[in-house]
Structure 1
Amino acid sequence: MSITTTYLSKTEVQSLLDVTAFGLWRIAKKYDDFPTPEKNPGPFATKDGEVWDGTKLYRWMAKTPEFEHRGAALLRPLPADLSSGKWAGYQDTPKGPALDWHTALGTIRLVHTSKDQAASAVAADLAHRGNPDGVTTVCALYGDISFSGPALVATDTAHPTIEYEAQWGVVAQLAGQDLPWWPGLLRSAELIRQWQPGAPALVAEVPAGTGEQILRRAAANSVFDAAAQAALTYMANDIRNDRVRNAEHDIELFGRHSTHLVIGARPDTSTHPLPAADDRQTLAAGSKVIAASSHPDAVAALELVLAHDPRLLPFGALTKIALHPGTAAEKWARRLTLCDPTAAHAALADGRPVDAFFIDPLTDMPVLRTTTGDAPGLRFYAPLALPDTGAELTSVVLDGTVWVKTSDGQVHPAPCTPHEHLWWGDGWGDKPSEAATVINTLLDDLGATIDLREHWTAPRGLTALLEKQAKPGPTEIARHTLLHARMTTPPRSYED
């Protein structure tokens, strides 16, 4: 969440300060710290090109005795004889559950949400309805921790378009008691409605998120085999365990760094942690089945696998290339086999129009043909390894990605891990060590599985060769050139 900036015209500033044009000129002369107008506010510019940041101006007013009565309510000096406030109960709002507090400054409504512009939206709704509850200020959660507790965004109903940051400790001082707070995953209307001063923290089950629900629905689908169902269940359990741990962590963090705060609810940990897979082979085997399925549940589940842990899938990095006649990509494309779409194809498409669905019969990688304008292109996952046929690398072609030509007459997109990408040329100080590592590995063993965890240790000569390659147009580099380069030790530059 953030503080939304509202820009005010000169007329609006005069209205906020209740002064004439001359009065505004006098204020600017009298106060050296009076906010100056913005000279380049973009789309907020007025005819004379000047607007004021409403938050800055509203904060300044609250700290300036002449105007504090018109400034931000929660930034004004507190009364010396401050009387204790009173809890005024639960309220539903358009942006979520809220609790009201009657205070010496009026009723403060604290909305327990960190949605953007929640405070101003609730204040505007109240103002539009004539403010039937007599609320002076609406607060919402900023999402992080400030000096005295959870940071707050505030909006006064007198000026519902202006947001400013307020202090938890100030609101607690006005309320005359510690304020309740709920971790985000337990910030529900049902739980907040049950709270009252002095009540112990409720123990509640952390609700299942959308991802967990999708995985559990798929795990219950008999169309998938036992391996896939087990993998889906374990991933759903992992997500649930993470959510419980996150709620516990937030409670520990906010409780330790806050004053005047009481915890409204704690997660039920009586059945946690839920069982997780003992080995990644179980998860990988099940994930492979999901990727090859065409069931709608598999499509939704695979998106979560890719987000949760893409290394469980037999796919490398997502790769996109243009398709031109006579190129290595075009030769590879002739090898592809048309197929029915799978969940993996759906993930590749990512909502884009698709001309045809393919699979590489030698690596089992899914491939899409798409058209952007007049140029056809391919989207595919790079393989994690090439077929171990006993052949050797004869050359590489740099064209969109790294292509590998082999002694048995095949051409392959070079293997790559899910979180890396293959590139070459001048990296403005960065080195194309990922591509150098892949080529170095394949020169010795065409069927080796690629490991890029320490790609920066690639042979410096091979890395330097790739660094010198120009980006435009295909470039083919023969095996003997690659072998010679990796045996070469180029002089170190000051950038190394």
Structure 2
Amino acid sequence: MAGLRSALLLKHEVEKLLELGRGELDRLLEEDEGFPRGSQDHLGRIDRALGKEPHWRWDGGLVYSWAARSSRFSKRGAVLLDPALETRAVALGKWIGFQPTSQGPATDWETDLGVVRILHSTRRGAASAMAEELAEDTGAQSVTSVCALYGDIGISGPALVGADTAQPPLEYEVQWGMVTRLVGQPLPWWPSLLRRSDVISQWSPGAPITIAEIVPDEQEATLRQAASYWSVDSPARTALVDLANSLRNRRIDSLNSEIRIFGDHDAYPYGDPLLIAARHRTEGYPLPRTDDRDVLSAGWRTIASSRLFEAYEPLGIGMYCEPDLLPFGPPTEVSARGSTARRWGQRLAPCDPTALHAVLADEAQDVSFYTDPTTRIPVVRKGSARQGTWAFLAPLRLPDQAAQLRSVILDDTVWVKTDDDRIYPGPCTPDEHLWWGPGGGDRPTEAAWVIAQLLDDISTEVSLADNWRHAPKGLTKLLNRAHEHGTELSRAELEQAR
């Protein structure tokens, strides 16, 4: 299981785990083809010259799992992987109760192997960390094993990661059905958005399903807080509330899907029953949305141009979630050292920063703020004019209606030069980028299709729908070459390739 925490063991550590004498591990490696493979350390040139021998290391979790299934070493292996558990008589386990822990909410179950603690958390390494904490706590010695959720579905139910208090660093995969068999009754399961202490602590065997509210996540809370800074009838407030409602509805849809998938799993051939212990409150859902795209676009333009500090974080969320509602293309960053970028930068107009400038600046310290007076795109220079970078949002269209495309310059991005000697960043769509040069997939077709449209009409609002189908093959081939940065392709070359 890819999410298991790795613990690499040296030879003497494997010998200690399996209680092997001198030379026994070497014989075991020769005789048992199923023993987990080890790997050797990579030695540098100096270490090799000094004659050092590389150490062998083994994945401790794999060795621990192998031992559990070995007739000779089963008592030294993973507790919950012992094959004898599958044939032993089932004893009714006992629910001990809810436990708030440093690794998340947990429930404890008494079994004839000792107490098994189930962590209702998908935090990586949680099982190992909890087992180690319990091993050091003299008052918690009755806990034998800890299981944490992996987040996916295993063969018999929700996938589990196990760790034993006898060997805390060694995590291994545990079957839901095995734990169900140990406790002698179906286990409770909570969907991820309701996996909270205030919800899980309400459960006990035989209790009704808990109906709980979905707590707003950080993004939703940020948007709703920001909405309070605009008047009720402001398009900005409408846009912020609409996105907050959209995010909440998406999370509700995801929760419904999760409950359906995990709830239906016991119908599979190897599925074991589980109890869905909590559901969300459904009254008032889905939350209302705004259908008027013009109002939403106006709202995000207001937020983008705002100088309120409170506009910065929600704008970053909006640019990620609703990029097509802003009148600009994708974020682009180019080196200020290139001759094309330097020439373009000379005609930028300094300005006071807006929320959009703040998002582009990110956490950079030495920044200057500009606007392209022709395309109106926001621009931020990070660092010096010669050694820094230009960060900007690509235009959606070029306003030079009377001009024609003279050439294209391939640098950190695609630049367009018109026959009236102006230079612009290549226009794009909100959620695409203009790639060029050899690469995987259909990388050069974006730029090829944009250039083809600009050759016909320099001021068109470009489209990248089905670019891989529409891009002229000759232009795609031309842009798929490993051109040097700064290469300028004339209109004649572009037309000939097209």
Match of 1:394 among 406, 427, 433: 406
SS at match of 2:138: coil
Match of 1:156 among 164, 170, 175: 164
1:301, CA displacement in angstroms? 0.2
Asked if 2 retains the 8 angstrom alpha-carbon contact of 1:110 and 1:140, the reply is yes
The runs of 5 or more residues in structure 2 that have no matched partner are 45-51, 267-271
1:28-427 maps to which residues of 2 (within 5 A)? 28-40=29-41, 49-76=55-82, 77-78=84-85, 80-132=88-140, 134-222=142-230, 226-258=234-266, 259-324=272-337, 327-371=339-383, 375-427=387-439
Asked if 2 retains the 8 angstrom alpha-carbon contact of 1:9 and 1:50, the reply is yes
1:96, CA displacement in angstroms? 0.6
AA of the residue aligned to 2:383:
T
AA of the residue aligned to 2:68:
A
AA of the residue aligned to 1:418:
P
State the TM-score, normalizing by the size of structure 2: 0.91
SS at match of 1:162: strand
1:29, CA displacement in angstroms? 4.9
SS at match of 1:335: coil
The runs of 5 or more residues in structure 1 that have no matched partner are 487-496
Asked if 2 retains the 8 angstrom alpha-carbon contact of 1:244 and 1:269, the reply is no
Aligned equivalents of 1:179 and 1:429: distance in 2?
45
Aligned to 1:5: 6
Do the aligned partners of residues 230 and 80 (structure 1) sit closer, same or farther apart at CA in structure 2, a change above 3 Å counting?
same
AA of the residue aligned to 1:7:
L
AA of the residue aligned to 1:269:
T
1:282, CA displacement in angstroms? 2.2
Aligned equivalents of 1:427 and 1:9: distance in 2?
41
Aligned equivalents of 2:410 and 2:37: distance in 1?
55
1:335, CA displacement in angstroms? 1.5
Asked if 1 retains the 8 angstrom alpha-carbon contact of 2:41 and 2:54, the reply is no
Could you report, residue by residue, the CA deviation over 1:324-365 in whole angstroms, capped at 9, with x for unpaired residues?
47x332232121111111111122122123331101111111
Could you report, residue by residue, the CA deviation over 1:253-303 in whole angstroms, capped at 9, with x for unpaired residues?
011114220001001111100001213222222111111112222110011
Aligned equivalents of 2:308 and 2:196: distance in 1?
34
Could you report, residue by residue, the CA deviation over 1:374-430 in whole angstroms, capped at 9, with x for unpaired residues?
623211111011115433223322232222222444221110123322233444675
- RMSD (CA atoms): 2.3
Aligned to 1:458: 471
1:107, CA displacement in angstroms? 0.5
Asked if 2 retains the 8 angstrom alpha-carbon contact of 1:151 and 1:168, the reply is yes
Asked if 1 retains the 8 angstrom alpha-carbon contact of 2:146 and 2:163, the reply is yes
Do the aligned partners of residues 167 and 49 (structure 1) sit closer, same or farther apart at CA in structure 2, a change above 3 Å counting?
same
- What is the number of equivalent residue pairs in this alignment? 482
Aligned equivalents of 1:475 and 1:31: distance in 2?
61
Do the aligned partners of residues 427 and 9 (structure 1) sit closer, same or farther apart at CA in structure 2, a change above 3 Å counting?
closer
Asked if 1 retains the 8 angstrom alpha-carbon contact of 2:128 and 2:163, the reply is yes
1:140, CA displacement in angstroms? 0.3
State the TM-score, normalizing by the size of structure 1: 0.91
Aligned equivalents of 2:30 and 2:97: distance in 1?
46
1:174, CA displacement in angstroms? 0.5
Single out whichever of 315-324 and 172-181 deviates more from structure 2: 315-324
Aligned equivalents of 2:497 and 2:472: distance in 1?
8
SS at match of 2:159: strand
Aligned equivalents of 1:179 and 1:42: distance in 2?
49
AA of the residue aligned to 1:236:
A
Aligned equivalents of 1:425 and 1:38: distance in 2?
38
SS at match of 2:132: helix
Aligned to 2:47: none
Aligned to 1:489: none
Aligned to 1:494: none
Do the aligned partners of residues 59 and 42 (structure 1) sit closer, same or farther apart at CA in structure 2, a change above 3 Å counting?
farther
Do the aligned partners of residues 51 and 330 (structure 1) sit closer, same or farther apart at CA in structure 2, a change above 3 Å counting?
closer
Single out whichever of 418-427 and 101-110 deviates more from structure 2: 418-427
SS at match of 2:131: helix
Single out whichever of 134-143 and 81-90 deviates more from structure 2: 81-90
Aligned equivalents of 1:284 and 1:27: distance in 2?
69
Aligned equivalents of 1:330 and 1:16: distance in 2?
64
SS at match of 1:420: coil
Do the aligned partners of residues 200 and 428 (structure 1) sit closer, same or farther apart at CA in structure 2, a change above 3 Å counting?
closer
Do the aligned partners of residues 316 and 23 (structure 1) sit closer, same or farther apart at CA in structure 2, a change above 3 Å counting?
same
Could you report, residue by residue, the CA deviation over 1:128-168 in whole angstroms, capped at 9, with x for unpaired residues?
12252510000000110001100000000001111001011
Asked if 2 retains the 8 angstrom alpha-carbon contact of 1:91 and 1:99, the reply is yes
